[in-house]
Structure 1
Amino acid sequence: MSDWAYSNVLPWWPYVFILLGGWLPTDMWRYLGVLSANRIDETSEAAALARTIATALVAAVIAQLVFYPSGALAEIPAPVRLAALAAGFAAFQLSRRRILVGIFSAELVIGGWALVAASI
């Protein structure tokens, strides 16, 4: 029995797959967005709908990470994840909506928990 696989025959195949399956479909929409951006009125209902959908998708991803985590994040207790979410959101609002401040604050909560958990 042979160990035939694409990676043995064509060692560059995973990179082509990443290019075709990941980068190209994503960037295609980005490039189309850049090309059509000057034609869209940002106060239009279509732009408002696009912003609403994008915000809902980000909120859904955050909710999934907090309430249904996987991998290493699943090892962090739910109250700690909720505290990190609350701290990050509060810091974001208090810093006049600076995303990095919110992210750093949430990371501090999780990092603080990790230090306490490691010392126990």
Structure 2
Amino acid sequence: MAHWAYSNVVPWWPYVFILLGGWLPTDAWRYLGVLSASRIDETSEAAALARTVATSLVAAVIAQLVFYPSGALADIPTLVRLASLGAGFAAYQLSRRRILVAIFVAELVIGAWALATGAGTG
């Protein structure tokens, strides 16, 4: 007996789900932000709070990736992940806050570790 699934009946359903569940809610908030941006004072306490919360969320995600990784990242030793984070942060500061430089340097640290240990070679 065949297993029934909605995606077997309507094969394009996952794409509609991604559109409705992922893209639409995210973009709705983006559009509201664009429409209301001209009315928000950048120096206000509300804007400072929003920046603080956003920065805290990014820091929390980075901390989770470094200290509680999953998937392939979990195979990289904590010391290497910390060295990569530190090198990326130093590169960010030394390059006058260029995020792409920081990402590249952090990836170089992990890449050097992978080459030195033969990690990732199946």
| TM tier relative to shorter chain | over 0.9
Q: Which residue is 1:72 aligned to?
A: 72
Question: Where do 5+ consecutive residues of structure 2 fail to align?
Answer: none
Write out the 4+ residue segments of structure 1 that deviate beyond 6 Å after TM superposition: none
Aligned-pair identity in percent equals 83
TM-score, normalized by length of structure 1? 0.97
Question: Where do 5+ consecutive residues of structure 1 fail to align?
Answer: none
Query: Cα offset for 1:7?
Result: 1.3
| 1:36 partner letter | S
Q: Which residue is 1:48 aligned to?
A: 48
| 1:95 partner letter | S
Q: Which residue is 1:118 aligned to?
A: 118
Matched, 1:25 2:25: yes
Cα distance in 1, alignment partners of residues 25 and 67 from structure 2: 29
Q: Which residue is 1:107 aligned to?
A: 107
| Secondary structure of residue in 2 paired with 1:2 | coil
| Secondary structure of residue in 1 paired with 2:96 | coil
| 2:17 partner letter | F
Cα distance in 1, alignment partners of residues 117 and 13 from structure 2: 42
How many residues are aligned here? 119
What's the CA shift string for 1:37-87, capped at 9, x where partnerless? Answer: 000000000000000000000000000000000000000000000000000
RMSD over aligned Cα atoms:
0.9
TM-score, normalized by length of structure 2? 0.95
Query: Cα offset for 1:3?
Result: 1.5
Cα distance in 1, alignment partners of residues 92 and 24 from structure 2: 33
Cα distance in 2, alignment partners of residues 27 and 63 from structure 1: 27
